[in-house]
Amino acid sequence: MPKPSTEKAKVQWVLERSKKSRDNNLVLYKNIFKHFLKIDLNSITGYDLLKGIKHKKYPNYDSVTRASRKLQELNPELRGAEWEARHGKPVDETIKDLKQNF
């Protein structure tokens, strides 16, 4: 099976395979580099990382985390063990409350 090409698909691919990535955005970002760019983040300087992000050589951290949040919102099976604790009420309950109040 070929690896995905869009950022969202790459994030989903990692979330499906790495449970640690579901609760930790830094682990998710590291895995994007490891599996798709074949780069060990220990092998580049912070300056080179930021320069690569600026010049769109590397994915933007905010874009990766945004895709992760959206995927986890829509796909409960991609949520980590800490998701419920971070969000309090289950999403369905919150939506129901909002509909009743408006």
State how far the Cα of 23 lies from the Cα of 79, in Å rounded to an integer: 8
Range of the domain at 20: 7-101
1 found inside a domain: no
Count of helices and strands (H, E) across the chain: 7, 0
74 found inside a domain: yes
Please tell me the predicted confidence (pLDDT) of residue 91: 65
Please tell me the predicted confidence (pLDDT) of residue 32: 96
Residue 3 burial (C-beta neighbours within 10 Å; 0-12, 13-18, 19+): exposed
Inform me whether the pLDDT recorded for 1 exceeds 60. Answer: no
38 found inside a domain: yes
Show the tokens assigned to 48.
């080179």
Inform me whether the pLDDT recorded for 86 exceeds 80. Answer: no
2 found inside a domain: no
Please tell me the predicted confidence (pLDDT) of residue 96: 75
92 found inside a domain: yes
Please tell me the predicted confidence (pLDDT) of residue 89: 61
Which segment of 1-5, 11-15, 44-48 scores lowest on mean pLDDT? 1-5
Into how many domains does the chain fold? 1
State how far the Cα of 33 lies from the Cα of 70, in Å rounded to an integer: 20
Whole-structure pTM value: 0.78
pLDDT tens across 25-83, in order? 999 999 999 999 999 989 999 999 999 999 999 999 999 999 999 999 999 999 998 87
